[in-house]
A and B are shown apart, each in its own frame.
Chain A
């Protein structure tokens, strides 16, 4: 009897401890974070929206972002000073812009969750990192040193470093959009959304067959529209196989993805 009570108390205490340690509700919210994320989301979405960039972005700006992307992707653990050090991509107007939006820029470039689009040419190259580090040492200024300190203070979320960036998400999204032929005859319905889980190899190929998560709807005779939609989504997944793989360093974060094929806006007409 006594041992039961004891074990019950211990178990309850253990569960409470685990909840306190791991559930975000018990953490003190960092009041400075929300505005940072908000500003940054706007910046990222504008710069990483794949079709927009390819169409009409200012060339200089695009180039600048691309170069930064290359550097960042090649050395995920490095501090932003390396990116800042590349003087070639900065002209006067760029600098003005950076000063003007200084805080936002820093935040944009520093929070690891916002890593940019992965490109094929952006293969990991240790030699290049060494070069960049050297360069950064040579060209670093006092102002940038101060910025670095600020970055260090902000860059306190190493666990997020492995998360897929918005740019990488955009890149994956763009690929599936290209592969998906929407069955536009399906009547509009608010529930017409297909959720598919995919598991990927490190090279971006399918590790196992894609799985429609709404199993029960697939075989219902009354759900023929859903079945047609789900089949079109499965075709898109297979047609896109293999996708261009995001950064292999973040493989853990993208080896399993849930794709939500949502044609509702299109079907609404």
Chain B
């Protein structure tokens, strides 16, 4: 009895010792940073469908591929390389065929029309695990297929990168036309991929600094009325416009609070510019800074507790942070040069800015305490960064230098990834400046 017990104990002891020592650990702390290869197939539809879906099937796939590729994190595999054809795919993908062409992820889908409604079903497959990792059905009107495609791209992006997508978003900007000293400026809005472009104002009045409300389809902007700047609110869906207020003196850079209930801006009185916040409903205005210097470009942190702004109170234009009551004003930018247009990231971890140093302009980011400054892009003239909804990409505008005769001047929108890579020009019908990127459309 005792012998048996000892034998058993010895056995378990040895098993534990052996197992503990057998498993070696290897740490993988680096990876491949190449874009992830993904195959997006044309969406399947029944040949006897009521409506011919041939073109939509191709276009949905194209929009998804283009969105993913534009992010710089994905590489869309050319459909010419596909081995398995769409017809058999809606049953089940042959994963080995997709691995052969190095696709790590595969997108398949099916279209169906029922009573003038388009039903889009999509599936995302992990070709190495040979399993479906995301599936969704979206129903919309047929002519809304483009937005559905962006929403699918967002789902794919989120599932594979772990981060919210930013494709079902819009860009608001100032469209410019004409000679430099007599520019016609109109408010314009478009999808983030430059489609569905439309103008919101006629161009009779000068418009400046348009900004999205983070929670509503509403914008605020500055426009001149009888040579006086006014802050306007415009509901994009209804087209209803209202004047927020006539303020004595100059007004600059209105921007919404994260809850969309307030507008923060700078007002100039007696040659001194300070930060003010106004409650939209009650129209009560509260002064937040009171320094003899020029305080401008305020922007809230996503939790609404802090505000960043720029001020020249220290002798040069620098970035400051304070709480939402105007207390604890602290300078955070420490480098050489002038810093302007600070914008708090929707993720809350960074502040984007424009920096002017030795005649060159930079778009950069720093942590909210001013540490870890990184300059992402440099040019002759560029400014006004605005964050994508997920805090990964910045949009800004860049101007080209005019020659002595005043020709050659142009301005356009650009985007750049937080890593400083994937810089891309954003197409607009005319010159463009002062962009604002919306949150995901609700």
* Known contacts A181-B104, A184-B73, A186-B163, A169 near B22 by CB under 8 Å: no
Cβ A260 vs Cβ B6 within 8 A: no
A181: chain B residues within 8 A (beta carbon): 31-34, 36, 104
CA distance A213 to B223 in the complex (A): 59
- Most chain B CB within 10 A, of A185, A252, A264, is at A185
A232: chain B residues within 8 A (beta carbon): 160
CA distance A144 to B158 in the complex (A): 63
Q: How far is the CB of B20 from chain A (nearest CB, A)?
A: 11
* Known contacts A228-B159, A228-B162, A260 near B28 by CB under 8 Å: yes
CA distance A262 to B418 in the complex (A): 21
CA distance A158 to B157 in the complex (A): 52
- Residue of A with least CB distance to B374: A269
Q: How many residue pairs, one in A and one in B, have C-beta atoms under 8 Å apart?
A: 126
Question: Which chain B residues in 390-430 approach chain A with CB under 8 Å?
Answer: 390, 392, 418-419
Cβ B25 vs Cβ A14 within 8 A: no
Residue from the list A172, A184, A239 in contact with B26, Cβ < 8 A: A172
Cβ A238 vs Cβ B28 within 8 A: no
B133 at interface, CB cutoff 8 A: yes
Q: How far is the CB of B1 from chain A (nearest CB, A)?
A: 7
B133: chain A residues within 8 A (beta carbon): 231
Binding site of A, secondary structure by majority: helix, strand, loop or mixed? helix
A231: chain B residues within 8 A (beta carbon): 126, 129, 133
Cβ A256 vs Cβ B6 within 8 A: no
A11 at interface, CB cutoff 8 A: yes
A257: chain B residues within 8 A (beta carbon): 23-26
CA distance A261 to B23 in the complex (A): 16
Cβ B161 vs Cβ A186 within 8 A: yes
CA distance A46 to B129 in the complex (A): 36
B159: chain A residues within 8 A (beta carbon): 228
Cβ B27 vs Cβ A173 within 8 A: yes
Residue from the list B10, B23, B104, B128 in contact with A258, Cβ < 8 A: B23
Cβ B24 vs Cβ A183 within 8 A: no
Cβ A180 vs Cβ B23 within 8 A: no
B30 at interface, CB cutoff 8 A: yes
Cβ A180 vs Cβ B26 within 8 A: no
Cβ A177 vs Cβ B160 within 8 A: no
* Known contacts A11-B5, A259-B28, A184 near B22 by CB under 8 Å: no
Q: How far is the CB of B434 from chain A (nearest CB, A)?
A: 27
A256: chain B residues within 8 A (beta carbon): 22-23
Question: Which chain A residues in 233-249 approach chain B with CB under 8 Å?
Answer: 233-236, 238-239
Q: How far is the CB of A37 from chain B (nearest CB, A)?
A: 17
Q: How far is the CB of B9 from chain A (nearest CB, A)?
A: 7
Cβ A180 vs Cβ B162 within 8 A: no
Cβ B23 vs Cβ A183 within 8 A: no
Q: How far is the CB of B13 from chain A (nearest CB, A)?
A: 6
A254 at interface, CB cutoff 8 A: yes
B129: chain A residues within 8 A (beta carbon): 231, 234-235, 238
* Known contacts A7-B5, A164-B24, A172-B26, A236 near B31 by CB under 8 Å: yes
CA distance A99 to B199 in the complex (A): 80
Cβ B31 vs Cβ A266 within 8 A: yes
Cβ A228 vs Cβ B161 within 8 A: yes
A253 at interface, CB cutoff 8 A: yes
Bitwise, A194-235 to B at CB < 8 A (1) or not (0) is 000100000000000000000000000000110011011111
A258: chain B residues within 8 A (beta carbon): 23-26
B347 at interface, CB cutoff 8 A: yes
Question: Which chain A residues in 172-192 approach chain B with CB under 8 Å?
Answer: 172-173, 176-187
A127 at interface, CB cutoff 8 A: no
B5: chain A residues within 8 A (beta carbon): 7, 11
Cβ B29 vs Cβ A183 within 8 A: no
B284 at interface, CB cutoff 8 A: no
* Known contacts A10-B6, A180-B31, A235-B126, A197 near B23 by CB under 8 Å: yes
- Most chain B CB within 10 A, of A7, A179, A184, is at A184
A263 at interface, CB cutoff 8 A: yes
B91 at interface, CB cutoff 8 A: no
Residue from the list A7, A183, A186 in contact with B2, Cβ < 8 A: A7
- Most chain B CB within 10 A, of A18, A234, A252, is at A18
B10: chain A residues within 8 A (beta carbon): 14, 18
Residue from the list B2, B25, B27, B36 in contact with A11, Cβ < 8 A: B2
- Residue of A with least CB distance to B372: A269
* Known contacts A7-B1, A185-B161, A260 near B26 by CB under 8 Å: yes
A185: chain B residues within 8 A (beta carbon): 73, 157, 161-163, 390, 392
B17 at interface, CB cutoff 8 A: yes
Question: Which chain B residues in 94-150 approach chain A with CB under 8 Å?
Answer: 104, 126, 128-129, 133
B162: chain A residues within 8 A (beta carbon): 183, 185-187, 224-225, 228-229
> 9 shortest A-B CB distances, which residue pairs?
A185-B163, A185-B161, A228-B162, A180-B31, A182-B31, A238-B128, A186-B162, A258-B25, A7-B2
Interface residues of A (CB under 8 A from B): 6-7, 10-11, 14-15, 18, 22, 163-164, 169, 172-173, 176-187, 197, 224-225, 228-229, 231-236, 238-239, 252-254, 256-266, 269
A to B CB contacts below 8 Å, 20 in the list: A18-B13, A22-B13, A163-B24, A173-B27, A177-B28, A180-B32, A181-B31, A181-B104, A183-B160, A183-B161, A183-B163, A184-B419, A186-B162, A186-B163, A231-B126, A235-B104, A239-B128, A259-B26, A262-B28, A266-B30
> Knowing that A177-B30, A182-B31, A239-B104 are A-B contacts, what are 4 other residue pairs whose CB atoms are under 8 Å apart, sorted by A's residue number?
A11-B6, A234-B129, A260-B27, A260-B28
